[in-house]
Amino acid sequence: MRFGLLALAVVAVGQDYSDLQMERVSGGHRFTESPLWSKATGLMLFCDVGTNQILAFLPGKGTLKYRDEMEGPTAIAYDTEGRLLVAQPRLRRIIRLYPGDDKKLDVVVERFEGKRLNAPNDMVVRKDGHMYFTDPAFGAQIEGRELDFNGVYHLTAKGELSVVARLKGRPNGITLSPNGRVLYVSVSDERRILAWDVDGRGRAANERVFAEGIAGPPAGLRTDEKGNLYVAANEVLVLDANGKRIHSIALPDKPSNLAFGDEDRQSLYISAKGGLYRARMKVKGAVSESQ
């Protein structure tokens, strides 16, 4: 189902985004999260956390159910073999699904040093198989937690798990720069974004504050091919590679996450409270992650 075009308030510096229009392409959902473009199928997948579903939007066709009984999924990503990874914070784990087999799954990670994770929230997989994910404790997950920190983790392609950062604040969204050499993480309750340099072996170092004082708790993150960082907060903020705000996009709903999609990767999809939105952009999304 297609909805009418919505003209959005845009603040632009240095680039012309005055004609940007946002289209609500899917609505009537509980709480959408983590859009993910599937290059193989031409589908934009996204989570509906409240109904435990992963949904699929097919441009020109509408929305259909992709997988159900996913236990409140908050993030999805592809591994290097094209299998879907799903973060399940209710079960404190990340699982792997198999195409064509609705019953088969593997648990990718659920413990660190013998203790259960807090609640894996968001993740990104680099082209070479290195995965990074955030593990905050929100709401009910705070009770009975076994780890005394909110973590940012690195999981190698061989399954070796290590901590990138042990944070007091709660990390939320996570993404990589276009070349896969900078890792970005939003810290919701501190209203800031952290960055690390990442080497060829996937190791992260040189933690620093990339941006701070963000209006509204920052959540999902994505980069475009020019290295600009898109931040889902009270609105969608766009920051350049130095952390300077260059424009912003206001939506009717509060955004939760975002991704570039369509065959040319020149559409920005934004998940929000009750729907999925799309805008045609003048820049393509970065391709540093697995698809």
- Position 9 confidence tier, pLDDT thresholds 50, 70, 90: very low
Is residue 15 scored above 80 in pLDDT?
no
Q: What is the pTM of this model?
A: 0.93
User: What is the model's pLDDT at position 81?
Assistant: 94
Do the domain assignments include residue 135?
Answer: yes
- 229 within 8 A of 214, measured Cβ to Cβ: no
Domain count, the chain: 1
DSSP 8-state class, residue 142: G
What is the Cα 269 distance to its own chain's centre? 11
Is residue 13 scored above 70 in pLDDT?
no
Query: 215 burial class (0-12, 13-18, 19+ CB within 10 angstroms)?
Result: exposed
Do the domain assignments include residue 103?
Answer: yes
In tens, the pLDDT along 111-133 reads 999 999 999 999 999 999 999 99
> CB-based contacts of 103: which residues, under 8 Å, 6+ apart?
none
- Identity of the highest mean pLDDT range in 3-7, 56-60, 81-85: 81-85
Do the domain assignments include residue 179?
Answer: yes
User: What is the model's pLDDT at position 99?
Assistant: 86
Instruction: For residue 160, give the amino acid letter.
Output: E
- 258 within 8 A of 230, measured Cβ to Cβ: yes
Do the domain assignments include residue 42?
Answer: yes
The CATH number covering residue 217 comes to 2.120.10.30
Average pLDDT in the 181-191 region? 97
Do the domain assignments include residue 291?
Answer: no
Do the domain assignments include residue 121?
Answer: yes
Query: 171 burial class (0-12, 13-18, 19+ CB within 10 angstroms)?
Result: buried
Do the domain assignments include residue 88?
Answer: yes
- 221 within 8 A of 174, measured Cβ to Cβ: yes
What is the pLDDT of the chain when averaged over all its residues?
Answer: 92
In tens, the pLDDT along 144-171 reads 899 999 999 999 999 999 999 999 999 9
Do the domain assignments include residue 286?
Answer: no
Which residue segment(s) compose the domain that 98 sits in? 5-280
User: What is the model's pLDDT at position 115?
Assistant: 97
Structure-token pair, residue 81 = 């073999």
In tens, the pLDDT along 234-280 reads 999 999 999 999 999 989 999 999 999 999 999 999 999 889 999 99
If you write DSSP's letter for every residue of 118-137 in order, what string do you get?
S---EEEEBTTS-EEEEE--
